[in-house]
Structure 1
Amino acid sequence: MKKVAFYTLGCKLNFSETSTIARSFEEKGYQRVEFNQNPDIFIINTCSVTENADKKCKKIVREAQRINPDGYVAILGCYAQLKPQEIATIPGVDAVLGAAEKFRLMELIDDFRKEPTGTARVYNSNIEEVLDYHASYSLNDRTRTFLKVQDGCDYPCSYCTIPLARGASRSDTIANVVKAAREIAERGVKEIVLTGVNIGDFGIQNGIRHERFADLVKALDAVEGIERFRISSIEPNLLTDEILEFISTSQRFVPHFHVPLQSGSNKVLGLMKRRYKRELYADRVAKIKELMPHACIGVDVIVGHPGETPELFLETYQFLQELPISYLHVFTYSERASTHALDIKPIVPSQQRAERSKMLHILSEKKRRAFYESQLGRVSDVLFEEEIENGQMQGWTENYVRITAQYDPLLINEIKTVQLTTIAENGLVQVSEPELMTVHN
Structure 2
Amino acid sequence: MENRKKVAFYTLGCKLNFSETSTIARNFNDEGFDRVDFEEVADIYVINTCSVTDNADKQFKQIVKKALKINDKAFVAAVGCYAQLKPEELAAVDGVDLVLGATEKFKITDYINDLSKNDMGEIHSCEIEEADFYVGSYSIGDRTRAFLKVQDGCDYKCTYCTIPLARGISRSDTMENVMQNAAEISAKGIKEIVLTGVNIGDYGKGEFGNKKHEHTFLELVQALDTVEGIERLRISSIEPNLLKNETIDFVSKSKTFVPHFHIPLQSGSNEILKKMKRRYMRELYQDRVSKIREVMPDACIGVDVIVGFPGETDELFLETFNFLNDLDISYLHVFTYSERDNTEAIDFEGVVPMNVRSKRSKMLRGLSVKKRRHFYENQLNTKHTVLFESENKEGYIHGFTENYVKVKTPWNPELVNTLHEIELTKIDEDGIVRFNFINEPVFS
How does the TM-score come out when normalised to structure 2?
0.97
- The answer for the alignment partner of 2:256 in structure 1 is 252
Q: Does 1:145 align with 2:146?
A: yes
Shift of 1:38: 1.1
Q: Which one-letter code corresponds to 2:48 in the other structure?
A: N
- The answer for the alignment partner of 1:182 in structure 2 is 183
Which of 88, 91, 107 lines up with 2:91 in the alignment? Answer: 88
- The answer for the alignment partner of 1:65 in structure 2 is 68
Q: Does 1:297 align with 2:301?
A: yes
1:4 alignment partner, SS class = strand
1:104 alignment partner, SS class = helix
- The answer for the alignment partner of 1:402 in structure 2 is 406
Shift of 1:436: 2.2
Q: Does 1:317 align with 2:291?
A: no
- The answer for the alignment partner of 1:52 in structure 2 is 55
Task: State the distance in 2 between where 1:412 and 1:434 align.
Answer: 18
1:237-266 deviations in Å (ceiling 9; x for gaps): 000001001000000000000000000000
Q: Does 1:22 align with 2:25?
A: yes
Task: State the distance in 2 between where 1:23 and 1:289 align.
Answer: 41
Q: Does 1:358 align with 2:362?
A: yes
Moved over 4 A (4+): none
Q: Which one-letter code corresponds to 2:377 in the other structure?
A: E
Shift of 1:434: 8.6
Q: Given that residues 405 and 433 in structure 1 are in contact (C-alpha distance below 8 angstroms), is that contact kept between their aligned partners in structure 2?
A: no
2:233 alignment partner, SS class = strand
2:341 alignment partner, SS class = coil
Task: State the distance in 2 between where 1:277 and 1:387 align.
Answer: 41
Shift of 1:433: 4.9
Task: State the distance in 1 between where 2:321 and 2:267 align.
Answer: 9
Shift of 1:435: 6.6
Q: Given that residues 161 and 336 in structure 1 are in contact (C-alpha distance below 8 angstroms), is that contact kept between their aligned partners in structure 2?
A: yes
Task: State the distance in 2 between where 1:304 and 1:7 align.
Answer: 30
- The answer for the alignment partner of 1:192 in structure 2 is 193
State how 1:104-119 maps to structure 2 within 5 Å: 104-115=107-118, 118-119=119-120
Shift of 1:437: 4.7
Task: State the distance in 2 between where 1:322 and 1:104 align.
Answer: 48
Task: State the distance in 2 between where 1:407 and 1:434 align.
Answer: 18
- The answer for the alignment partner of 2:430 in structure 1 is 426
Task: State the distance in 1 between where 2:424 and 2:438 align.
Answer: 12
Task: State the distance in 1 between where 2:352 and 2:365 align.
Answer: 18
1:29-70 deviations in Å (ceiling 9; x for gaps): 211111121111100000000111100111101111111110
Task: State the distance in 2 between where 1:112 and 1:228 align.
Answer: 42
1:305-360 deviations in Å (ceiling 9; x for gaps): 00111100000000000000000000000000000101211000000000000000
Q: Does 1:99 align with 2:102?
A: yes
Which of 284, 290, 297 lines up with 2:288 in the alignment? Answer: 284
Task: State the distance in 1 between where 2:392 and 2:437 align.
Answer: 16
How does the TM-score come out when normalised to structure 1?
0.98
Q: Given that residues 386 and 420 in structure 2 are in contact (C-alpha distance below 8 angstroms), is that contact kept between their aligned partners in structure 1?
A: yes
- The answer for the alignment partner of 1:330 in structure 2 is 334
Shift of 1:71: 0.3
Task: State the distance in 1 between where 2:264 and 2:227 align.
Answer: 28
Q: Given that residues 137 and 146 in structure 1 are in contact (C-alpha distance below 8 angstroms), is that contact kept between their aligned partners in structure 2?
A: yes
Task: State the distance in 2 between where 1:311 and 1:80 align.
Answer: 38
1:383 alignment partner, SS class = strand
Structure 1 stretches lacking a partner, 5+ long: none
Q: Given that residues 406 and 434 in structure 1 are in contact (C-alpha distance below 8 angstroms), is that contact kept between their aligned partners in structure 2?
A: no
Which of 229, 232, 255 lines up with 1:228 in the alignment? Answer: 232
Q: Given that residues 417 and 438 in structure 1 are in contact (C-alpha distance below 8 angstroms), is that contact kept between their aligned partners in structure 2?
A: no
Shift of 1:106: 0.6
- The answer for the alignment partner of 1:203 in structure 2 is 204
Q: Does 1:74 align with 2:57?
A: no
Shift of 1:109: 1.8
- The answer for the alignment partner of 1:124 in structure 2 is 125
Structure 2 stretches lacking a partner, 5+ long: none
Q: Does 1:7 align with 2:7?
A: no
1:340-397 deviations in Å (ceiling 9; x for gaps): 1012110000000000000000000000000001000111000000122232100000
1:258-282 deviations in Å (ceiling 9; x for gaps): 0000000000000000000000000
2:359 alignment partner, SS class = helix
